[in-house]
Structure 1
C-alpha cells in the first residue's frame, strides 16, 4: 500500500523555516538534553514526510522541537502524528483536569505504562501560561455520576495524608512514597471528587486534590521523572483554579518555574511563571508571598541583578513578618529561604555570600529535613571547593555520604555525581581518595 505523505508535518516545517537537516539537528540536540542518543538525519526526516510513522521517542521529541521553534504548543494531530505509537499527554489548559489526573494515576500504577510515562519529554514550550485562561467549567460542583457523599471528614483526611506523605518524602526521598500517593489520588481522592458535596466542601476537596497532585509532581521531579512531574504540576494548577484557591495556584506556578530552573532553563517563560506567582501572592499570606519572592530572586539572577536583589530583600522582609502553621503548604522553613538566597548569590557571582547563606541554611535545618539537609551539605561542599577549601569541603561531603544510602532521590544522585567529578582532580590527596573509595559502590 502506498504511504500518504504527511502534509501537516511538512507545513509545520515550512512555518518553522527549517530544512530536514535542521529539524534532524534540533531533534538530536533535544534528545541529548534529555540524556538520550538519537540517530537522526535528513533522510529520516524525508521518510517521515513521505508518510512513514516515527517510533517513540521521536513523536514526543518532534512536538517539543516544533513547539519551541514556533513558540506555541503543537499537538500530535496538528503534526500528523496522531496515529504514531506515543505516550504524549496533551498539556492543554482546556482539558478536564480530573480526567487527566485519572489517566495519569492509572498509568502511574501500571509498571509498563509508568515506564513509558517516565520516558516522556519535559516540554519547555508548555510553560507558556495563557493570560486570559479561565478554568474548565462544569454545570455543577457535583458530577452526574456522583455516588455517596464527601465532606469534612474526607477533607481532614486529605490534609493529614498531605502532611504525612510530605514528611515521609522529606525524610527518605520521594521514590517509594510516590506510588502510595498516586494510589491514594487515583482511588480515594478521585472518588471524593465525584461524590455529592456542598459547593464549599467540593471546592475544599478540589483544593486538597490540587495540593496532593502538586506534591506528587514534586516527588516525580525528585525521582528524575520530569515529564510526569510537569503533567502533575500542570494538573494541580488547573485544580487550584477550579477550587478558587489562589494560594495553591500561586504555589503551583512557582513550582513549575522552579522545576524548569532545576533542569537548567531560564527562559522568559520560566521568569514569567515566577512573576505571575508573585503577583498572585498579593492576595495570600506573607509566608506564601515570601516563598514566591525567594524563587523570583533565583530566576531574576539570570536576567537582572537589581531585580534579583530586590526580590530577595522582599522575601526576607516578608518571612520576618509571617506567622506560620506547620504543614507543607503553610510553612516555609528559614533554612529553605537561606538556600534560595545562596542560589541567587551564586548565580550573581558572590561565592562568599553563597557560602555564608548555605552555612546558615545548614544550621537551621531540622532533623526531619533529612533530604534537604543532605542536599545543602553537598552544595556547601561544592561551593567551598571552588574557593580552594578542600579539607572543609571533604567534611561536608562525608556528612552527605552518611545520609545518602537512606535517600532515594534523583537530586541526591546528581549531587553524588558532581562530587565525584569535582574530586577527580584531587584523587591523589589521601583523604579525598578515601572518600571516593567510600562513594564507589553507591549509585
Structure 2
C-alpha cells in the first residue's frame, strides 16, 4: 500500500526553517551527545517525509532536535510519529502530573515498557522549559473539606508513612547504590502513593501528601540517574517539580530543580540552560530553610565555576555561611551534611583550576563521611584520585582508587561504573608502574 506523507513533520521542518540536510545534521549532533553514531542524511529525511516511520531511537532524537530548534516541547503526535511501529507512552511534558506518575511507574514495572522508557533521550530542550512556580496556586484537585482520616481518607498516618519510606529508600541507596532499590520505590509510588493522591482528603493533608510524593519521586529520579536511565530520571524529576508546585512547597520545589541541574551537570552539560536552572533553584529557595538555601547555593557554585568565577565563589561563600547558621533534622530533605558541602566545594575549586584546594576539600569530605554513606564515599574516593593524578600525585591517587575498588562490588550504580571506566583510562598510560598494573588487573573482571 502507498505510504501516507508525513505532513506534520514537514510543517515542523518549515517552522524550524530547516532543510532536510540541516535536520539530518542536527540529528547526528544530538545522537553524538548520547554516545550514538547515526547514519542520517538528506535522503533519509526525505523518506520520513514521504511516510516511512523511523526506527527507535531516531524518533526520540528527532523530537529532541526539533524541540531545541523551536524552543518548545514537540511530542510524537505533533511530529506525525505516533503510528506503529513507533510505540508512544503518554508522557507529555504538560500532562497531569498524577497521570504521568501512574504511566511512568506502570511502565517502570513492566519489562517490555521499561525497555521503551530506557530507550528515551535525555532532553536539553526540557531544561529550557522548566516547571513554573505559581505563588497563587489553587487547592490541588482531589482535596476535599473534611477531617484527617475520616471514613478511610488518607490523613497524618499516611503522611508520616511516606516520610519514613523516603528515609528508608534514601539510606538503602546510599549504602547499596540505586540499582537494588529503585524498582521497589517505583512500586510503592505506583501502588500506594498514587492511591493516596487520588483519594479525597482535607486540603492541608492533600498538600502534605503532594509534598511527600514529590520528595519520593525526586529520590526515584535521582536513583534512575544513578542507574543510567537518564531520560526516565528527567521525567521523574519534572513530575516531582510539578507536584511540589501544586503542593505550594517552595523548599521541595527548589530541591527538585537542584536535582535536575545536578543531573545535567553530571552528564557533562555546561550550557546556559543548566546554569539558569541552578539559579532558578537558588531563587526558589529564597524563603526556604537555611539548609535548603545552602544546598542550592552550593550547586549554583558548581555550575557557575566553568564560566563565571565571581558568581561561583560568591555562591560558595553564601552556601558556607548559610550552612553554619542552619538548623537541620535528620532526613534526605531536611539535612545537608557538611561532608556533602565539602564535596561541592571541591567540585567548584576543581572547575576553577585550584586543584590543591580541591584535594583538601575532597579529603575533608571523606573524613566526615559515615559508614552508611558508602555510595557517596566511593564516588569521593574516585574523584579525589582523579584530581590527585591530574596534580601529578600518582601513588596518592592509587591509594584512593584502592579504596574505590574495595567498595565498588557492594554498589549497584552506573555512576560508580563510569568512574571505574575513567580509572582504567587514566591508569593505562601507567601500566608499567607495578602498583598501577596491579589495580588494572584487579579492575579487569569488574563491570
Change (3 A) 1:438 1:286: same
Residue 207 of structure 2 is matched in structure 1 by 203
CA deviation after TM superposition for structure 1 residue 98, in Å: 0.5
Match of 1:175 among 168, 173, 179: 179
Looking at structure 1, the residues matched to 160 and 338 of structure 2 have their Cα atoms a distance apart, in angstroms, of 27
Instruction: Determine whether 1:141 maps to 2:149.
Output: no
TM-score normalised by the chain length of structure 1: 0.95
* Displacement of 1:82: 2.5
- Aligned residue number for residue 72 of structure 1: 72
For the residues of structure 1 that align with 2:59 and 2:305, how far apart are their CA atoms? 35
Q: Deviations over 1:349-407 (max 9, x none)?
A: 11112111111111111111100000000000000001111110000000000000000
- In the TM superposition, 1:41-80 aligns within 5 A as 41-80=41-80
Whole-angstrom CA distance in 2 between matches of 1:19 and 1:257: 33
Aligned with 1:374: secondary structure?
helix
Deviation string 1:132-183 (CA, Å, 9 cap, x unpaired) is 664697555159xx99411111111111110011000000000010011001
CA distance in structure 1 between the aligned counterparts of 2:138 and 2:254, rounded to whole angstroms = 18
* Paired residues of 2:97 and 2:239 also in contact (CA < 8 A): yes
Q: Which is worse superposed, 158-167 or 124-133?
A: 124-133
1:150 and 1:177 map into 2 onto residues whose CA distance is 25
The verdict on how the C-alpha distance between 1:179 and 1:202 changes in structure 2, with shifts beyond 3 A counting, is same
**What's the counterpart of residue 342 of structure 2?**
338
* Residue 78 (structure 1) shift: 2.3
**TM, length-normalised to structure 2:** 0.95
Unaligned residue ranges in structure 1 (runs of 5+): none
Query: Take 2:205 and 2:245, find their aligned partners in 1: how far apart are those partners?
Result: 15
Structure 2 partner of 1:120: 120
SS of the equivalent of 1:256 reads: helix
Deviation for aligned residue 1:321: 0.5
Q: Secondary structure at the match of 2:38?
A: coil
2:202, 2:260 → 1: CA distance?
31
1:58: how far off? 1.3
1:88 positional shift: 5.4
Which of residues 254, 259, 270 is equivalent to 2:258? Answer: 254
Q: Please say if 1:266 is aligned against 2:250.
A: no
Change (3 A) 1:378 1:139: closer
Q: What's the offset of the Cα at 1:127? A: 1.1
**Could you say what the CA RMSD is over the residues aligned between the two structures, in angstroms?**
1.8
Q: Structure 1: how far apart are the matches of 2:334 and 2:141?
A: 32
Could you say which residue in structure 1 is the equivalent of 2:374? 370
For residues 82 and 13 of structure 1, the distance between their equivalents in structure 2, rounded to whole angstroms, comes to 17
Aligned to 2:281: 277
Q: Deviation of residue 37 (structure 1)? A: 3.0
1:161 corresponds to which of 149, 158, 165: 165
Whether 1:320 and 2:324 are equivalent positions in the alignment is yes
Separation of aligned partners in 2, 1:180 and 1:234: 20
Whether the 8 Å CA contact 1:87–1:120 is kept in 2: the answer is no
**8 Å CA contact retained: 2:25, 2:41:** yes
Flag structure 2 segments of 5+ consecutive residues without an equivalent.
none
Number of residue-to-residue matches in the alignment:
440
Q: Distance in 2 between matches of 1:198 and 1:100?
A: 23
Once the 2 structures are TM-superposed, how far is the Cα of residue 238 of structure 1 from its aligned partner?
Answer: 0.6
- Asked if 2 retains the 8 angstrom alpha-carbon contact of 1:87 and 1:117, the reply is no
**Counterpart of 1:237?**
241
TM-fit CA distance, 1:131? 8.2
Per-residue deviation, residues 241-278 of structure 1 (Å, max 9, x unmatched): 11111100010111111111111112222112111111
Give the direction of change, closer, same or farther, for the CA distance of 1:89–1:147 in structure 2 (3 Å limit).
Answer: farther
Question: Could you say which residue in structure 1 is the equivalent of 2:192?
Answer: 188
Q: Work out the CA distance in 2 between the residues paired with 1:301 and 1:238.
A: 29
Q: Give CA-to-partner distance per residue, 1:18-65, whole Å, 9 cap, x none.
A: 222222222222222222332322211110011111221111110001
Q: Secondary structure at the match of 1:56?
A: coil
Contact 1:91 1:231 in 2 (8 A): no
CA distance in 1, matches of 2:200, 2:16: 49
Change (3 A) 1:129 1:32: closer
Structure 1 residue 219: Cα displacement:
0.4
Structure 1 CA distance for aligned equivalents of residues 391 and 132 of structure 2: 48
Cα 1:315–1:338 shift into 2, 3 Å: same
Supply the distance in 1 between the matched residues of 2:171 and 2:130 (Cα, whole angstroms).
34
Find 1:419's aligned residue among 419, 423, 427.
423
Residue matched to 1:86:
87
In structure 1, distance between residues paired with 2:74 and 2:404: 43
Determine the C-alpha separation between the residues in 2 that align with 1:4 and 1:242: 42
